[in-house]
Amino acid sequence: MEKIRMNTPLVEMDGDEMARIIWQMVKDELLSPFIELNTEYYDLGIKHRDETNDQVTIDAAEANKKYKVAVKCATITPNAARVKEYDLKQMYKSPNGTIRSILDGTVFRAPILVNGISPVVPSWTKPITIARHAYGDVYKNVELKVSGAGDAYLVFEGADGKEQKLLIQHFNKEGILQGIHNLDASIESFAHSCFTYALDTKQDLWFGAKDTISKTYDGRFREIFDGIFEKDYKEKFETAGITYFYSLIDDVVARVMKSKGGMIWACKNYDGDVMSDMISSAFGSLAMMTSVLVSPHGYFEYEAAHGTVQRHYYRHLAGEETSTNSVATIFAWTGALRKRGELDGNQALCLFASKLEEATLRTIESGKMTKDLALITSLKDVQVLNTRDFILAVRDNL
Ligand code: NAP
Ligand code: MG
C-alpha cells in the first residue's frame, strides 16, 4: 500500500526501560510500515533529561502547545535509588507533573474492553472514564495534632486588611486538625476540560461531590460546573445528544455500579485517586488502560496508564524472554493519530487508527495474548506470546 501521509507533526515523547523497548517495536512494526510518520521527537529518557537538566521536558510540553497533539511513553520519576542507578545530577520532578503544570489539564483514564477479559461488574459493557481533578484538597493540605484543650479557628487574613474567622472546634482533649484549599481558576479549567472531553468522545458527563455536607467547599465545585455548563456547553451537549448531571457522590457511586458504563465520571482529587484504582482493577489490568491529558486550551497528550515496567526491563537486559503487554502503548498512539487526523481533516489517518485498534483487540480475542492477560482471561486454548511476537501477531491481523 501507499503510505499514509501526515500534514502536521505529532509531538513524540520517548521514555524509559521496557516501555521504551515496546515504543520502538510498535513504531517499527505497526506504524512506520503504513504511515509516513511525521513526528517532532523529544527524548524524555532519564539520561537525556539529565543531560539537558530537564529542559527537554519543558521543550516537549511547549511543542505540545504548538502542535496540539502529543504521545508520551512512560518515564522514570526518579527517587533516591534511581539517582544512584543512573548517576543523576539531581532528583528531577515527575515529567508528567511538569507537563501537566505547563498544559494545565485534567487526566482522563479509560479501560480498553476486549471479549474474554470480563469486568467484575457484569453490567459494565462500555468503558467508564474517570476524570480526576489534579489540584489541591488533601494533596496540598496542612495538618496539626493538638495536644490538649484549646480552640481551633479557620482564619483568612485578606490582603486588604479584612479578616474572616470561624471556630472549627473547641477541644477538651487531644485531637487532630486539617486545612485544605482549592482555587476557582483550577476548578474552572477542570470543568472546561471535562465538558470538552465529553463532547469530543460523545459520552455523558457525571459529576459527584458532597455539597449537602460541604455547602461552601464542595458547593463551589458544583456552582462552577453548573455555571460553566449553562453558559458555554448546554446547547452543544443538546446538539451532540449527550447529557451532564451533578449528583451527590454516594448517589453517583450507586448509579455507576448499576450502569452499563459508557460515561465520564468527573471526580474531585481524592475521589478520583480512589475511584480510578477501583475502575482499573475492576476492568482487569493497568496494562489495558489508556490515559489522556486534556487541557482547557485544546492540547491533548496521550499515554499508557502503566509505568516503565522496570522488572520486565531487567529481565530483558539479562537476555531473558519477556511477555510485556503493549496494548496501552498501541492505544496511546492510535488516540494521538486519530486526534491528529481529526484536527487536520486526514480521514486516512483516522481510519488507520481504528483499524489498528481493531486488529489489536481481535488478536487477543483469537486467543493470542501476553502473560498478564492469559492469567485473567476466560478464553480457552490461549497462546501466550512474548513481547515481540504479540506485536507481530497484531501486524498479521492488521
Ligand atoms: P509499572 O511500570 O506500571 O509496573 C508495575 C507492575 O505492573 C509490573 O511489574 C508488572 O507486573 C505490571 N505491569 C505494568 N504494566 C505492564 C504491562 N504493560 N504488561 C505487563 N505487565 C505490566 O509501575 P512501577 O513498577 O511502580 O514503576 C516503574 C517505573 O515507572 C517507576 O520509575 C515510575 O516512576 C514509573 N512510572 C511512570 C509512569 C508514567 O510515566 N506515566 C506511571 C507510573 C510509573 P509483573 O512484574 O508482576 O509482571
Ligand atoms: Mg492512587
pLDDT tens for residues 242-258?
999 999 999 999 999 99
CA–centroid distance, 393 to ligand 2, in Å, is: 33
pLDDT of residue 298: 87
pLDDT digits (tens, 9 = 90+) for 258-301: 999 999 999 999 999 889 888 988 988 888 999 999 888 889 99
pLDDT of residue 126: 95
Ligand 1 closest atom vs CA 371? 20
* 34 grid coordinates: 503504513
- Give the least confident one: 9-13, 22-26, 192-196: 192-196
Looking at the chain, which runs of residues are DSSP E strands?
Answer: 10-14, 39-43, 69-72, 106-111, 129-132, 142-146, 150-157, 163-171, 175-179, 204-209, 244-248, 263-267, 289-294, 300-304, 368-369, 383-384
pLDDT of residue 81: 97
CA–centroid distance, 281 to ligand 2, in Å, is: 12
pLDDT of residue 140: 84
Nearest alpha carbon to residue 74 among 288, 328, 307, 273: 307
Residue 110 neighbours by CB under 8 Å, 6+ apart: 127, 128, 129, 130, 289, 290
Amino acid code (one letter) for 59: D
Pocket test for ligand 1, best of 71, 308, 326, 331 (most atoms within 8 A of CB): 308
Smallest CA separation from ligand 1 atom 5, residue: 309
CA–centroid distance, 86 to ligand 2, in Å, is: 26
- Alpha-carbon gap, residue 280 to 291, rounded angstroms: 11
Per domain, the residue ranges of the chain are 1-111+294-398, 118-138+181-283, 142-179
Kind of pairing, strands 244-248 and 204-209?
parallel
Protein residues within 5 Å, CB atom, of ion ligand 2: 273
- Alpha-carbon gap, residue 289 to 303, rounded angstroms: 9
Q: Are 252 and 267 in contact (CB under 8 A)?
A: no
Nearest alpha carbon to residue 387 among 334, 333, 324: 324
pLDDT digits (tens, 9 = 90+) for 316-361: 999 999 999 999 999 999 999 999 999 999 999 999 999 999 999 9
Adjacency order of strands within the sheet including 300-304: 39-43, 10-14, 69-72, 300-304, 289-294, 106-111, 129-132, 263-267, 204-209, 244-248
pLDDT of residue 1: 80
Closest ligand to 96 CA?
1
Q: Are 224 and 188 in contact (CB under 8 A)?
A: yes
Closest ligand to 274 CA?
2
pLDDT of residue 285: 82
CATH class for the domain made up of 118-138+181-283: alpha beta
Eight-state DSSP code of residue 118: -
Report residues whose beta carbon is within 6 angstroms of any ligand 1 atom.
Answer: 74-77, 96, 286-287, 303, 306-311, 324-325, 372
User: Can you identify the CATH homologous superfamily of domain 1-111+294-398?
Assistant: Isopropylmalate Dehydrogenase (3.40.718.10)
Dihedral Cα 44, 45, 47, 51, nearest 10 deg: -10
Domains 1-111+294-398 and 118-138+181-283 share a fold: yes
CA–centroid distance, 110 to ligand 1, in Å, is: 17
Cα-flanking dihedrals φ and ψ of residue 213, to 5°? Answer: -90, -50
